[in-house]
Structure 1
């Protein structure tokens, strides 16, 4: 969101954002450097929208030049769906993203779990993972296997090794490309 408060026909308001009023820009950035690969200014509802939803349409249009090259695309829960993961996989492109538990086709409803408990289902190369840390995390991935990864965390008592599902680790490692681009742009 680029802050803008004057009159503009496609100005957006998103409650709870640090900059609630402005121009919404969809961005695709490289995850390690934050280099901006593609962007699109959102000017309102698209007349030629597909039946799969806005998140699906945005991702497919942004990654179009990179399809078929076995890249891994990371996205947050606004964009992700099992249908998007399957269509990207059909086009030789992998993905990893947080997903809302009420998405059509998601195998895990929101439920009570103990801290550290993980559930994983796999269908072909699509891995659905539900893991509870401080809160419940749902991740859909086609880029990793459903094993556990060991990561080091800092606590008041010092560093502690914690096991987390590999798809959650991959998502945490690769999801910050757009945030990193925003950080570079603010300098």
Structure 2
């Protein structure tokens, strides 16, 4: 552990000037490339953030009050909903000079994460940080749908969406081209808005809560990255370290183990063939020995 390094010392200063993540870029990019090449995801992909807890010193440590561990390194991740397989990801390093000034951070993150999987009719589930009307239109051009909660303070939403409905469990449906906006009053003073291009029409259940179809679908598909993060923390191999490259390496190992387990279960295997036990081998040897004796 003392001599564990992931870069060359003679090239370190030159790389750090251009990339804050240079000490782990090669290892991380190799892991992501292998994850993309080894698995074909299902129809549903979840995009969300992961706060990897660490006390190591680095220039891109984040503070997130809504997370159990307040401090850590933020990673943008994409995961398969069905198997929780890690599909793609990259760290958040602060301001990105390559991102266009007119493009939102959430739109840029989603388009970068799902780029290897667009054009095949898949669906992407996001939360209110990522979901926007511009993102929906960009994904539709690549034959990819989106379902996600939407911040009701966004400019593209109608002012009527911000009005709290008096009736509980009421649903309001709004349409814009191929996008469907569902406003569901789940609590007396709180409603949720979901934008979907997967549901041209929205059916409503007939039980007491009368949940619309978009809300039910979102609740099922939103947990891909969250469950992946919980599994990685539950069975982590992380140890104490003050070096952030080693902490990132621990995170790679945790997610690599989950991916390996998913691939092991999905890979076809030959039927189990029971090997003869040592007792049967011994009895056969004695039998053959007795038969070879002269009478």
Residue of 89, 103, 107 corresponding to 1:56? 107
Q: Which has the higher helix share?
A: 2
2:161–2:183 Cα contact (<8 Å) kept:
no
Measured after TM superposition, the shift of residue 10 of structure 1 is: 1.0
CA distance in 1, matches of 2:161, 2:196: 17
Q: Deviations over 1:52-87 (max 9, x none)?
A: 210000000000111111100000000010111111
1: CA distance between counterparts of 2:231 and 2:164? 39
Determine if the alignment matches structure 1 residue 131 to structure 2 residue 196.
no
- Rounded to whole Å, the distance in 1 between the matches of 2:162 and 2:74 is 30
Q: Which runs of 5+ in 1 are unaligned?
A: 152-159
Contact in 1 for aligned 2:182/2:214 (Cα 8 Å): yes
The Cα RMSD (Å) is 1.6
Residue 175 of structure 1 deviates from its aligned partner by: 0.8
The runs of 4+ residues in structure 1 deviating greater than 3 Å are none
Deviation at 1:171, TM superposition (A): 1.0
Aligned partner of 1:121 in structure 2 is: 174
TM-score (norm 2): 0.58
Aligned length: 179
Quote the residue 2:150 is aligned against: 99
* Aligned match of 2:69: 19
Structure 2 equivalent of residue 168 of structure 1: 215
Residue correspondence of structure 1 range 20-59 to structure 2 within 5 A: 20-50=70-100, 51-59=102-110
Contact 2:179 2:200 in 1 (8 A): no
Could you say if the C-alpha distance between residues 63 and 181 of structure 1 is closer, same or farther in structure 2, counting changes exceeding 3 Å? Answer: same
Alignment-derived partner of residue 287 in structure 2: none
1:144–1:170 Cα contact (<8 Å) kept: no
Hey, what's the Cα distance between the residues in 2 that align with 1:7 and 1:184?
25
SS of residue paired to 1:148: coil
TM-score between the two structures when normalised by the length of structure 1? 0.89
**1:148–1:165 contact (8 Å) kept in structure 2:** yes
Q: Which is greater in Rg?
A: 2
Instruction: Give unpaired runs (5+ residues) of structure 2.
Output: 1-50, 236-295
